[in-house]
Structure formats: structure tokens, C-alpha cells
Amino acid sequence: MKRERIFLFDTTLRDGQQTPGVDFSVEDKIAIAAMLDDFGIDYVEGGYPGANPTDTAFFAKRRTRNARFVAFGMTKRTGVSAANDPGLAGLLQSASDTICLVAKSWDYHVAVALGCTNAENLDNIAASVEAVVISGREAMVDCEHFFDGYKANPDYALACARAAYDAGARWIVLCDTNGGTQPQEILTIVTAVVAAGIPGDRLGIHAHNDTGQAVANSLAAVEAGVRQIQGTLNGIGERCGNANLVTLIPTLALKEVYASRFETAIDTDRLQELTKLSHAFDELLNRSPDHQMPYVGASAFATKAGIHASALLKDPRTYEHVTPESVGNLRKVMVSDQGGKANFINALKRRGIVVGKDDPRLDRLISIVKEREATGYAYEGADASFAILARRTLGHVPDFFHVESFRVMVERRFDANGQLKTVSEAVVRVLIDGEETLSVAEGHGPVNALDLALRKDLGKYQHEIADLELADYKVRILNGGTEAITRVLIESTDATGARWWTVGVSDNIIDASFQALMDSIVFKLLKNRDGAVAAAAE
């Protein structure tokens, strides 16, 4: 049976730009458009030329090679002709293949937000689409508030969609702008639109995640006939975000109920780049990836020791809804206090350490890990500390350097000018090859001061840690009260882009931080020497 084509439309650069906390530069937009284009997305919506200097600059030239490059904007205003509307003129001057016009399709909004009559709004839609078509570009129309509009006045919502269709729009996109529509309502309303004479292969869906169902709403619309899905990378977007293309793409490709009937431009090979795409985008946004994101999250194929772990090892496929390889992700059976021997052997193998299951050193490692986890260490979240501990127990880690002592001081007092001032200072005494160095540093707080002092002078290793950076720092108090145990997790990075986590535990937060900082430096030095360590940290 011939499978029907579903077109993927990415609005990361337009609706995604509305995400609180996200603000793309022109360079960001160029980089993201290239990622999307390379991955095989059909349409890349770049923004709203004319609305702000960034988007205008971004549309100075075409930014995609294969994907259709889409400019977003408003339909013409009431009272001016399409030829004389400055907004529309800006769109037509942009270096775009496709122009996506947003049109009100809820009569209440036509009155309140546009202040024109229902008939004028229909005229504006038709005239604007015609102007785009005449310019030789592909026209599409985002019917804003379509579902809420349909519930309030179905005839008028349909009339808006029909005005766009009759005027020659390639796509009429039904938008759940406020994000509150339920999947069954989407199914019913889209079915009615198709029944009213607009074919499904001319319809798109634009869903928001305000009830956590943007993916389900998109799929319900496909079920009812639409053949274009709008979404964003990692589901960013206004309020709770848009439909997550990173979830939708593998679902369409790997779930038999869709794959048997539909196809997208994303083939099996590209799908294996999905995890990389998702993480690269987070990297660009400078935020930590969501570990629980479907398909691509670090936990998406992770199993903690428990009722499933041993069965998982017998036959992984029966505990996984798709294979991690199909989306470029990895299976993880986690080291933790309930982990069995097989879990450990696998965890070590992934870190390039091969050990026989009858090796007595393995038993020793397991008992050390269990003992430490009982006192608060969390190796599950600190791969690099686990790797160091395993190498120390099973083989050898060089004593690169030795910290003989440190002292950290925080003082808050009034300075000479009567200003309240807090100063943090750390002094570290390090021994390298029999030679002692004393380093001192001031920092934003005691841990920062200690970090800076520790990395100030490591003698012959100093050039090796020049690119080491502390990327994240987490503190967890494991039990309340005055004798609280503190767990510190530190994430480090270096110029290769590798990231690794280390852990420290103590009733003293400075001491816990010191342990994690030490492990981070030792791991960096190990990694510089051993390809297997480096590979495991990628």
C-alpha cells in the first residue's frame, strides 16, 4: 500500500521565539535553520520579517538549501489594498519560498483584536493569499484560534479556512492557539472541516501543549486527515510550548499504526541523528537537556535496578517500546545500590573496562559502591566519579598530585567605606613530584574560591586543565538537622565538548565540594591519557 506523505513544518524560529527565556540572535537562527535543513524538515519557518531587526536581517537571504524557507506575517489590513499594505510588502520582499499568513478565524477576535467586520476579514484573507500566489510564492494560512473559533461559530471558522483555500493557499493550518483543545475535539472538528470540502492534504495542524497533549492533538488531526504538522525542536514555544517534533517524528516513523500508512522525509539514517539534533539544540540554547524527554532523553532507555532490570538484561527488546539505536540514543542500566553483578559488568564495559564476573576485584568494587551509596554517594548521577573509583579498584589511576591541605575563609564585615562586604578566599597546598606549591584565590563564594585555587597551579599538569570548566553545581542535603550530610554533584566540560559529573559527600559542604572538584580534575587528566575514558565521556 502506498503510504501518504506527512509534511513536517518547524516553527522553532518563530513560535519558539515566544518561549519565555529564549531569545535568538541572527547567528543562532542561521545555525538552527541549518540543523533543521540538514535533518530533512520540509518547512523551516524563520520568523516575521519586518517585525523586528533580527528577523528582517535573517530574511535578507534564503537560509535553507532543501527545506522551504517560510516567512510569517499578518494578512493585509482593512482599508488598504494588498499592494499598498506595508506589512505584506515586507513579506513579499523577504527571501522566502513560502509565506505563512496568520488570519483570525474566531469571530470574537475579529471584532475585538482587528476591529473589522467578519466580511472584511474574509476579504483580507483572500486578497493577501492572492497577492502571495501572484508573487510566485507558495501561500499558506495559519487559521488562528481555529478550534475555539469553530466551537463559538463553526460557519465563520469554516468560511475563513475556505477563503484561504479558494484563494489558492497550498496549506490551511488549523491552529489551537490557546492550547486547550482535547484530542477528541480535534478529531471531530478536523473531520468536519474535511467533510466541508477542504481536502486533508491541504490541511495542517498547529498544536500547543497547555494540557500536555500537543503530540496527541497533532496525531488526532492526522487521523482525521491533515497532512502537515507544525511543531518545534524539543517542544519549545509560547507558554507550555508547541508540539514537540522530536517526539512526533520517531512516533510517526516507528509506531506501526502510523508507519504502515504514512511517511515523512526523515529516513531511517536521519532518525538515528535525532538524539544528537535534540541535544545540539539544547546546547545552543545553553540549557541542560530534559533527561525524561521521549526517545532522546538520557533516561528514555534507562532502567534503575528494580523489578525490571534483571528481566531487561535477559531480553532488552521486551522492555523497550523501540530500540534506543533507532533514534541514536543508548540503553542504560544504572549503577545503584540494588544493582546486581551483571549490571556492574555492563556499566564497566560501556566505560571501556572489561572484567570477568569471577574476578574478586569486581566483588570489592561492588561492595565499595554499595557502602558509599549507603552513605549518600550517587554514582548513578556521577559517571566520572564511578569511572575513577572503578579504575582505582580494578586497575590503576596515577597519583597525579596530592592536596596536602586547604583552608577556606568567608568573612562578612563593613569595609573602610562603611559598605557591607563578603569576601571568600581559599588557600591550597599541593604536592606534585615532591614539590610543594601554595595557591590562593578569591571567589564568588567558598566553593568558587576553592575551585579557582585548586586549578591555579597544578605545575606540569597546568596546561592540561586550561580548558576545564565547571558547568554546573548541585547541592543536596540528604537528611535534615544540624548533622546533615551534604551531597555535591559537579558537571565539568572542556574544549572537546565532553561533559562529566563527579560527586562528593560529607557533613561539610566545602569538603564534599572538594571531593567532587578533585574527581573532576583527575578525570580530566585520565581522559587526556586514555581514549576509552574520553570516548565514554562524549
Q: What is the DSSP string of 183-239?
A: HHHHHHHHHHHHHTT--GGGEEEE-B-TTS-HHHHHHHHHHHT--EEEEBGGG--ST
User: Which of positions 345-404 make contact with its own copies (CB under 8 A)?
Assistant: 378, 380-381, 404
Return the residue matching grid coordinates 506523505: 5
Quote the DSSP letter at residue 2: P
Please identify which residue in 2, 396, 412, 463 interacts with its own copies, judged by CB under 8 A.
412
Instruction: Tell whether residue 409 is a contact of its own copies (CB under 8 A).
Output: yes
State the amino acid at position 84 in one-letter form. N
Least spacing, CB of residue 16 vs its own copies, in Å: 11
- Please choose, out of 56-64, 92-100, 129-137, 236-244, the segment that lies near its own copies by the rule CB under 8 A: 236-244
Q: How far apart are CA 247 and CA 268, in angstroms?
A: 15
Binding mask of the shown chain, residues 185 to 224, with x at each position contacting its own copies by CB under 8 A: x-----------------------xxxxx-xx--xx--x-
Looking at beta carbons only, is 195 or 475 nearer to its own copies? 475
Q: Which of 108, 342, 457, 464 binds its own copies (CB under 8 A)?
A: 108
Q: Which string of DSSP letters, residue by residue, matches 417-484?
A: TS-EEEEEEEEEEEEETTEEEEEEEEESSHHHHHHHHHTT--GGGGGGGTT-EEEEEEEEE-S-STT-
Q: At closest approach, how far in Å is the CB of 36 from its own copies?
A: 19
Q: By CB under 8 A, which span of 159-167, 250-258, 383-391, 459-467 interacts with its own copies?
A: 250-258
Residue closer to its own copies, measured from CB, 163 or 447: 447
* Pattern 155-174, its own copies, x by CB under 8 A: --------------------
Q: Please report whether residue 251 would count as binding its own copies according to CB under 8 A.
A: yes
Taking CB under 8 A as the binding criterion, the range among 35-43, 55-63, 166-174, 477-485 that sits at the site for its own copies is: 477-485
Burial of 518 (0-12, 13-18, 19+ CB in 10 A): middle
Length of the chain: 538
Nearer to its own copies, 67 or 232 (CB): 232
Q: Report CA dihedral (108, 114, 118, 121) to the nearest 10 degrees.
A: -140
How far apart (Å, rounded) are the C-alpha atoms in residues 265 and 255? 16
Of the candidate spans 86-94, 284-292, 392-400, 524-532, the one that interacts with its own copies by CB under 8 A turns out to be 284-292
What's the closest the beta carbon of residue 68 comes to its own copies, in angstroms?
Answer: 22
> Binders of its own copies among 480-519, rule CB under 8 A?
480-484, 486, 491, 506-511, 514
Residue 81 is a binding residue for its own copies (CB under 8 A)? no
Examine residue 178 and tell whether it contacts its own copies (CB under 8 A). yes
Residue 319: other Cβ atoms inside 10 A: 15
First to last CA, the chain: 42
11 binds its own copies (CB under 8 A): no
Among residues 247, 264, 275, 502, the one that binds its own copies under rule CB under 8 A: 247
Burial of 507: CB neighbours in 10 Å, binned 0-12, 13-18, 19+: middle
